[in-house]
Structure 1
Amino acid sequence: MTITKNTIVTLDCRLSETSGNLLEDSQELIYLHGGYGQIFKPLEEALEGKKVGDTFRVEIPAAEAFGEFDANLVLTESLDELPEEIKVGMEIDGYIEENPDDTVLYVVTAIADGHATLDANHPLAGKNLVFEGRVEEIVEVSEEAVQEILEHAHDEDHH
């Protein structure tokens, strides 16, 4: 059986930067194949037609992965305006002035001189990524099952 539209695919996957820096070693990734936006498009395209046991290696530039690093998403705030228990690595909900209705997640990246640096970029923003691994399992699913999976994924996005 090969990877085609409406198959659930299980991958054993490693994620690294094109520089060779390993980000995640041997992660299981399960997704619904067929252009549903569950994985990055270049990766999905490379997996089309593969069989169990096949290996893959796909390079994805930052712009097509988690986006370029955006310096506008980095803020410095006075500690007076932030929770007292703030520490580096903590996540804080906030918003961007241009669009106060959209909440964004900031990560505290530094604390110094009475100020904290907050970064709303995805941790992998600006990184050119390499996905490599092996196809472990391919399961065909019915149209009904596909709809259930998509509805469930849609519900998860809005919680």
Structure 2
Amino acid sequence: MDIRNPCVVSLTWRLEDAQGVLIDELMEPTEFFYGGEDLLGKVEEALEGQTTGHEAELFLEPEHAFGDYDSALVFFEAIDIFPDNVEEGMQFEGPPKGSTTPDMPPDVIYTVTEVYDTHVVLDGNHPLAGIALKISVRVADVREATEEEIAQGSVAQSIFSLAMDRDGADEDVPPGATLH
């Protein structure tokens, strides 16, 4: 079967920064919805019309990966609005409850990057923002998407999403968990 919208592709990959430092590696094939939000646009472009066994090497500038780093998405909040166990790597979907900063976009996942005695630094950039990436991808399988997958535009939660709870860090997600 050719890869076309909509379908599900099983991929393995190796993701590195521009200097070749390993960021992520999928050794076992993982399914992604092709034609939705599961894959980066340039990855989908490289897979269009291909079949099982196809391999591609891509170099993605930040604007084609996770965007440029935006310093306007870095905020300082008083430590007293956070749980007692706040630590670097914790993440919050949207501003934390009690936030006093009016400019914090509500639809962003914020990562705690620093904890001080009186305040916490929150960064709304994706952890890979501003980084050029090298990705080696291999198509292990291609199948028709189910009606449910087509309706939700995804096989499951996107591998590029950060699993979070709106009220604070999810107890089941270890600090710093970002990819899969």
Q: Which TM-score band applies after superposition, normalised by the shorter structure?
A: 0.7 to 0.9
Bigger radius of gyration among the two: 1
Unaligned runs of 5+ in 2: 96-100, 159-165, 167-180
Structure 1 pair 6–115 and aligned structure 2 pair: CA distance change class (3 A): closer
- 2:98 equivalent to 1:97: no
Deviation at 1:117, TM superposition (A): 1.2
Over aligned residues, Cα RMSD in angstroms? Answer: 2.7
Please state if 1:150 is matched with 2:155: no
Partner of 1:60: 60
1:87-140 residue CA offsets vs partner (Å, 9 max, x unmatched): 12212344362466x243221111234222111111111111222121111224
Cα distance in structure 1, aligned partners of 2:81 and 2:144? 52
Structure 1 spans left out of the alignment, 5+ residues: none
> Which amino acid in structure 2 is aligned with residue 12 of structure 1?
T
What amino acid is aligned across from residue 36 of structure 1 in structure 2? G
Instruction: Specify the alignment match of 1:133 in structure 2.
Output: 137
Residue 32 of structure 1 corresponds to which residue in structure 2? Answer: 33
* TM-score normalised by the chain length of structure 1: 0.78
**Are 2:131 and 1:112 equivalent residues in the alignment?**
no
Structure-1 separation of matches of 2:61 and 2:133:
6
* Alpha-carbon distance between aligned partners in 1 of 2:140 and 2:87, rounded to the nearest angstrom: 40
- Under a length normalisation based on structure 2, what TM-score does the superposition of the two structures give? 0.70
Alignment CA distance shift 1:84-1:14 (3 Å): same
C-alpha distance in structure 1 between counterparts of 2:109 and 2:7, whole Å: 33
Task: Please say if residues 53 and 140 of structure 2, whose CA atoms lie closer than 8 Å, have aligned partners that are also in contact.
Answer: yes
Identity of aligned residues (%): 32
What is the rounded CA distance, in whole Å, between the counterparts of 1:29 and 1:127 in structure 2?
23
Greater helix content: 1
Q: Which residue of 1 aligns with 2:8?
A: 8
Structure 2 CA distance for partners of 1:112 and 1:156, relative to 1, 3 Å: closer
